[in-house]
Amino acid sequence: MLYRSGYGPRDLVGAKLLVENKNVGAHISGDLDLHAYVLLPEPVQPEGRAGEVISEHGPWCATTPRPWGELTIQIRSAIGGRSPESVAMGMFAPEYGWDHKEYMRNGSGTRRILGWNVHFGAIPWSWRVLPDTTGERMELDEAPFNAKIKEAAEIIRAWHGKLAMKPVRTETRGLDRTAASLGYETVFHRAGSARAGNSPENSVCTSDFDCHDIDNLLFTSSATIPRTFFWSAGPTAVNAAYGWRRMLANHFSTGCSTKGFA
């Protein structure tokens, strides 16, 4: 939206440029999940809604104690898809026929699936968003990230070996990725595209989220977070609440300017 309004880096906005700031759309960081699943010989979840509730909760652990720093690994339960179409076409579904019918009956197939959601937080990389909304990676500290992916894969495979029931099938290809193979579409909890800072030389807005370059423009999203540290949900909520208070107190009480309010 800012690019289309003529605000951003010259090389991306082009002839539409009205106000230049090289930091608009840049410095994006975020985290991601990689997944692993096993199919067990017997159901481990009850039928019906109770099974759905249980499947939403499972192990939640980290490989390092708090405070969590760069490249923290968290492991929690994952669901391989609970909707009929995702189950019927899922990774463990048999070919169509009687076996497939039995697999689908009363959710007997999905109730035998365990999933691991391996979350990587505070990843040492940086992206910028392009005008077509795709992302271009600008920085990546590849070696330590690859080491963490390998570490997580070893943990999950060891976990599989310690299950009380020997898996019938496993699916761990998600943990066989390399850091360089992970594209922008894998990044979530994105932050930093309009990051806060002390100068338009290194940021887009002030610590009060006022745009450095354009009066009356206030940012109220995770875009202002300078760099994601683990995930951006909490800071985003604080940012939005602060922006809401400012809009009520300032715009609707004392005028329309965003300058000079703290």
189, 217, 235: which is the final residue of a domain?
189
- Tell me if 10 is assigned to some domain: no
Residues 150 and 255 placed together within one structural domain of the fold:
no
Residues 239 and 166 placed together within one structural domain of the fold:
no
Residues 105 and 91 placed together within one structural domain of the fold:
yes
Residue among 244, 187, 192, 189 nearest 223 (CA)? 192
User: Quick one: which H or E segment has residue 176?
Assistant: none
What is the number of domains present in the chain?
2
Backbone angles phi, psi at 49, to 5 degrees: -65, -30
Calpha distance 227→46 (Å, rounded): 42
Calpha distance 225→221 (Å, rounded): 8
- Tell me if 16 is assigned to some domain: no
- Tell me if 6 is assigned to some domain: no
Predicted confidence at residue 248, as pLDDT, reads 77
Residue 55 near residue 79, CB atoms below 8 Å: yes
Residues 56 and 171 placed together within one structural domain of the fold:
yes
pTM of the model: 0.85
189, 224, 254: which is the final residue of a domain?
189
Work out the number of other CB atoms within 10 angstroms of the CB of residue 127.
24
Tell me the sheet residues that pair with 210.
Answer: 218
Predicted confidence at residue 4, as pLDDT, reads 95
Six-digit token string for 100 = 């497939």
**Residue 219 lies in domain:** 194-262
Predicted confidence at residue 254, as pLDDT, reads 57
- Tell me if 17 is assigned to some domain: no
Burial call 140-168: b when 16+ CB within 10 Å, e when fewer: eeeeebeebbeebbebbeeebeeeeeebe
141, 170, 189: which is the final residue of a domain?
189
Predicted confidence at residue 100, as pLDDT, reads 94
- Tell me if 7 is assigned to some domain: no
- Tell me if 11 is assigned to some domain: no
Residues 175 and 247 placed together within one structural domain of the fold:
no
* Per-position pLDDT tens, the chain of length 262: 999 999 999 999 999 999 999 999 999 999 999 999 999 999 887 776 555 555 455 678 999 998 888 999 999 988 766 677 888 888 899 998 999 999 998 888 888 888 899 999 999 999 999 999 999 999 999 999 999 999 999 999 999 999 999 999 999 988 999 999 999 999 988 999 999 999 999 999 999 899 999 998 999 888 999 887 776 677 788 888 888 888 777 666 655 555 555 4
Predicted confidence at residue 83, as pLDDT, reads 72
- Tell me if 35 is assigned to some domain: yes
Residue among 190, 201, 206, 72 nearest 127 (CA)? 190
